[in-house]
Amino acid sequence: MSLYFGIFDHVDRGAGTLAEFYENRLQLVEAYDRAGFYIYLVAEHHMTPLGMAPSPSVFLSAVAQRTQRLRFGPLVYTLPLYHPLRLIEEICMLDQMSGGRFEFGVGKGISPIENRYYGLDPANAEKMFAEALEVLLQGLGGGRLTFSGEFYRFADVPFELEPLQKPRPPLWYGANNPASAERCARRGMNVVANAPAKVIRGMGEAYWPLAKHADAKLGMNRHIVIAEDSAEALAAARRAYRRWYASFMKLWREHNMPPVGIAYPPEIDGFIENGLAAVGTPAEVRAILEAQLAESGANYLGCRFAFGDLSLAESLRSLDLFTREVMPHLRAEARAAAE
Report which of 131, 64, 134, 129 is spatially closest to residue 99, judged by C-alpha positions: 64
The pLDDT value recorded for residue 184 is 95
Cα–Cα distance, 183 to 246 (Å, whole number): 33
- Say whether pTM exceeds 0.95: yes
On the question of a cis peptide bond just before residue 49, with omega within 30 degrees of 0, the verdict is: no
Tell me the torsion sign for CA atoms 62, 249, 261, 209.
positive
Q: What is the pLDDT of residues 86-109, one digit of tens each?
A: 999 999 999 999 999 999 999 999
Q: What is the pLDDT of residues 133-176, one digit of tens each?
A: 999 999 999 889 999 999 999 999 999 999 999 999 999 999 98
The pLDDT value recorded for residue 335 is 86
The pLDDT of 121-126, averaged and rounded, is 96
